[in-house]
Chain A
Amino acid sequence: MELETRRVGDSIVVSPRGRVDHATADAFSAALATHVAQCASGGPAIVLDMSGVDYISSVGLRALMVAAKQVKAQSGRIVIAALTPMVREVFQISRFHLVFALFDEVDAALESLQKPA
């Protein structure tokens, strides 16, 4: 899975597209891994722009959980922005809204990262 990325200040905006399901979750994790590895104290924070993701399954959510755990262990920061309405519901039903700071828009997520954690 290709992830579009762009650097904004001290953060990197990562934008997956399409479905993150049992067929694509491994590729999603692999594509995310490079950015997650660099997301440590002093490194770029990650804003995961989910506006292009129209479906996420349990295994996709697990991939996000693994990324969040790694980032936390590295003292980095990762937040999620622009969930589509359907994926936002999946986050709430699965209780994944408790795992990540969620923002309606990418700009708001970037702004939040300017503040101390």
Chain B
Amino acid sequence: MKVRFWGTRGSIPVSVTAPDIRAKLLAALAGAVGRSLDTPEKIADYVDRQLGFETSGTFGGHSSCVELTGDDASHVILDMGSGARPLGQHLLEKYGPDAPRTYHVFMSHLHWDHIMGFPFFGPVYVPGNRIVIHGCHAGIEEAFRRQQAEPSFPVDFSQLAADVEFRRLTPGESYAIAGLRVTPKLQLHAGDSFGYRLEAGGKCVVYSTDSEHRLDNREEREGFIEFFGGADLVIFDAMYSLFEAISVKADWGHSSNIVGVELCQAARAKTLALFHHEPAFDDTRVASVLQETRRFEEITRDGHQLEVIAAYDGLELEV
């Protein structure tokens, strides 16, 4: 499976600002002082290898959207946040307007930041395309139709050219969809959210965002350890610090890097991708959280080494 992140930011899309760009330029130029950067190759090496990603790149600002592609060329999309817009553009450029395809979408929940990209997802305007939206919420179709009704959007849902279907899933049951074994799981979030365990060819990706973890609930913890069990990649809502998640932001429906590491360690998962980044954090803060999380994994390691990464818009992983 190939996993590509199109939106990794939590709650609301954000953008790199002019002061952010200026700070990156100042840091890059300060770091270049005294270096012999007199060829394009040396400059590229400096940017790609010497500068940190928080300076040379950005974690991006689109809200949740992740693409999975498997061996059978079917397309699976996890959530329809604002990252669905560049994903749709990419798909239209890749396949053109005359090659109808089927897309399977799995929705964690129906909050705005997870559905807002749908009206901007280009393939919905291409006749012949089939878009199957899977989810566990009773009101899933209504949520998608409502955001395109007047006065919220100029194009009504009924005007979409593609064939859009909605399929209700039951948490805890496994389904064979698009060449994958897909198992949804109920998570703690306002109005409920659902994680997905997606398996194919002996590989496993778990998508678990917008999920709060009650630390005093042993049964819940064991359920998530089983859900994450042996996963090659766990995409995990690590929006807050542990302190915030269980104090001032308790009941806000999100989790922390600490709990992500602990659950993945117990589940013997291979890679933890920090996801749903706090929108108030700039690239330096997200990079700092990543560095701290890697250190936490290192000092709490119990014989199983967990790789920790921070997802960013544009990141591609082969699982």
Contacts and interface: CB of A to CB of B under 8 A. Distances in A.
A62 B262 CA distance: 14
A71 to B, nearest CB: 14
Residue from the set A55, A62, A93, A99 with the largest chain B CB neighbour count within 10 Å: A93
Interface residues on A, range: 10 to 19
Interface residues of B, number: 21
Contacts of A61: 242, 246
Contact of A93 (B218, B247, B293): B293
Contacts of A94: 241-243, 256, 258
Contact of B258 (A22, A93, A99): A93
Nearest to B250: A65
Given A58-B215, A59-B215, A95-B244, A90 B296 contact: yes
B299 interface: yes
Contact of A22 (B221, B246, B293): B221
Contacts of A86: 299
A98 B244 CA distance: 10
Contacts of B256: 58, 94
Interface string A20-47: 0010000000000000000000000000
B89 interface: no
A61 B218 CA distance: 15
Given A65-B246, A65-B247, A94-B241, A58 B218 contact: no
Main secondary structure of the interface of B (DSSP, over half): helix
Contacts of B215: 58-59, 62
B304 to A, nearest CB: 15
Contacts of B257: 93
A66 to B, nearest CB: 9
B178 to A, nearest CB: 35
A90 to B, nearest CB: 7
Given A57-B300, A89-B295, A93-B293, 9 more contacts: A58-B259, A59-B216, A65-B246, A65-B247, A90-B258, A93-B295, A95-B243, A96-B242, A98-B243
Interface of B: 215-216, 218, 221, 241-244, 246-247, 256-259, 262, 292-293, 295-296, 299-300
